[in-house]
């Protein structure tokens, strides 16, 4: 494997790439969609919702949490997860900016 050259890019590009990388798995997208639908949930709720083992879901939750797409609060023996609105706003702004540039520069091949 080659060495990545993240240092050659803007920190905002690296941070946004990490967000997209975290969303680059169908299970994580399903988790995000479920959290958007129910607003918050406990890992056991996701086990009932998705066709994955609890350990696998926990691993995906860790990945989403590591880039701050989700946040969790400990309640007794379980953690209640929800979408981090600030990170979601950053992601939305990035996509809106790309879409705006696409509309302005629509002289594609």
Matching CATH number, 15-104, of 3.30.230.10, 3.90.330.10, 1.10.10.10, 2.20.28.10: 1.10.10.10
Tell me what pLDDT residue 105 has: 60
Tell me what pLDDT residue 1 has: 44
Does the pTM exceed 0.85?
A: no
Contact of 23 with 29, CB cutoff 8 Å: yes
Tell me what pLDDT residue 29 has: 96
Q: What is the pLDDT along the chain (109 residues), one digit of tens a residue?
A: 445 676 778 888 888 899 999 999 999 999 999 999 998 888 888 889 999 998 999 999 999 999 999 998 877 777 889 999 999 999 999 999 888 887 766 666 6
Tell me what pLDDT residue 85 has: 95
40 Cα distance to chain centroid? 15
The full set of domain ranges for the chain reads: 15-104
85 three-state secondary structure: helix
Contact of 46 with 34, CB cutoff 8 Å: yes
Tell me what pLDDT residue 4 has: 66
1 Cα distance to chain centroid? 25
């Amino acid at each position: 494997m080659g060495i990545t050259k993240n240092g050659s890019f803007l920190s905002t590009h690296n941070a946004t790439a990490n967000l997209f990388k975290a969303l680059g798995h169908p299970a994580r997208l399903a988790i995000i969609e479920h959290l958007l639908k129910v607003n918050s949930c406990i890992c056991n709720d996701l086990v009932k919702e998705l066709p994955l083992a609890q350990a696998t879901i926990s691993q995906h939750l860790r990945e989403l949490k590591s880039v701050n797409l989700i946040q969790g609060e400990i309640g007794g023996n379980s953690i209640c997860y929800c979408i981090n609105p600030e990170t979601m706003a950053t992601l939305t702004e990035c996509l809106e900016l790309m879409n705006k540039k696409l509309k302005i520069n629509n002289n594609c091949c």
